[in-house]
Structure 1
């Protein structure tokens, strides 16, 4: 798989979990990486240090991406520091509280949908002018296999992820003429802090790896599995690929 050498990637929510794995994989493949985070500055600094140890450029940027003004400042800062933005990975996310529609607080609904759907719209809008100046642009939305099932007691999360997939499909058609590819990676249960909490809440297990034996291929998915799918979408091997989705659930 051809590496994105010399390209600049902005990864949201990149201090931990899936975002961290994506940032490290893109750097491993040759990209310079802007590491966005919301609260954990120490975790983001460690990601930056790991990327710099690979010989790539990296910098951490605090921003809550559910604010358009914060997104605008983020993109402006990244473009000023790196001189370009070639890859955007909309990864930042939050969990909903697992309540029915009747019991969901309107404030929770707004926060979850804003983070999963409005933030990717804001950032895509803001990076497109930069990508149009480059030989190629890539936007990858991190969704969820939740959109395959729309399970009960998860409307805010289901709605947010369904909306970001709609955004991706629309944007792929709009920006193809400008050489920008837009694709979706939809993980299932993954070994992250959020995944561990979800496993405890929905499966009643104290350790997520208790689910390995009953999972496809004998293990729960890892952040590196998600990063590999993102790496494919932004590679030269996916030059003819846009508007596509990879469901990372092991065929389950």
Structure 2
């Protein structure tokens, strides 16, 4: 894990869906850089506890909150609990997402509803709750997807729709919150080596061939980009989408 010192010392971050994959990597990177970190999880409390243990091993305070991001009350409560527990909230990373794969005539409406609730409405709800606690220098980052820009495979339309919507939300909130000193950005990974999408899994070689570098990203590479975007030196970066996709969308 890269450690750039204590540039987030005294700051508090909340990472939704932070118990595994990219979310866990982000939570641990922010802790390594000095932040106290809360994370939400839905089902796997054991994995969430492991991430919290890693945060504490970095010398920071950690907190795992069970919350279904499709539940507005639960998600808002997680934001408020983070601020109440740690006394402030400086960084929100909207990472939680669901993925339903299927062509137009294969997807049932409950899958459509859940995708929009978790991937689009939840980041909006969490951001609305978070800004009540944020002051000058606040940071909101949402994790998007390269499929929101380039969708070359059948069966991705629903997921791509949800991720493309985040670009508009990011631009709009950047203008709305800029006068308050809060930046809003979108970090969009491409194929990334996680349990849900392993670099040695079925069709992985095919997906990697769409990138310029010919490989999957590691979660730490996405986390490093997030760490920059929420850092003090990125105070003039807002309303933009940064692709961490190995050139997939180039």
Judge same fold: TM > 0.5, yes or no: yes
1:239 aligns to 2:235 (yes or no) = yes
The SS at the match of 1:195 is coil
Q: CA deviation at 1:6?
A: 1.1
Q: CA deviation at 1:217?
A: 3.7
The root-mean-square deviation of aligned C-alpha atoms, in Å, is 2.1
| Equivalent position of 2:150 in the other structure | 149
Equivalent pairs, count: 243
For residues 126-173 of structure 1, the C-alpha deviation after alignment (integer angstroms, 9 at most, x for no partner) is 011111xx2310000100000122343222211111112211111001
The SS at the match of 1:103 is coil
152-161 or 105-114: which moved more? Answer: 152-161
2:37 to 33, 38, 63: 33
The SS at the match of 1:130 is coil
The SS at the match of 1:220 is coil
| Equivalent position of 1:227 in the other structure | 223
Q: In structure 1, what is the Cα distance between the partners aligned to 2:200 and 2:141?
A: 24
Q: In structure 2, what is the Cα distance between the partners aligned to 1:218 and 1:196?
A: 15
TM-score by length of 2: 0.91
Q: In structure 1, what is the Cα distance between the partners aligned to 2:185 and 2:56?
A: 27
| Equivalent position of 1:94 in the other structure | 98
Q: Give unmatched runs, 5+ long, in structure 1.
A: none
- The answer to whether the 8 A contact 1:4-1:234 is kept is no
Q: CA deviation at 1:214?
A: 8.0
| Equivalent position of 1:12 in the other structure | 16
- The answer to whether the 8 A contact 2:193-2:219 is kept is yes
Q: Give unmatched runs, 5+ long, in structure 2.
A: none
- The answer to whether the 8 A contact 1:15-1:40 is kept is yes
Q: In structure 1, what is the Cα distance between the partners aligned to 2:200 and 2:145?
A: 13
Q: In structure 1, what is the Cα distance between the partners aligned to 2:34 and 2:188?
A: 24
The SS at the match of 1:79 is helix
| Equivalent position of 2:177 in the other structure | 175
2:75 to 71, 87, 96: 71
TM-score by length of 1: 0.90
- The answer to whether the 8 A contact 1:168-1:183 is kept is yes
Higher normalized helix content (fraction of residues): 1
The SS at the match of 1:9 is strand
Q: In structure 2, what is the Cα distance between the partners aligned to 1:27 and 1:65?
A: 22
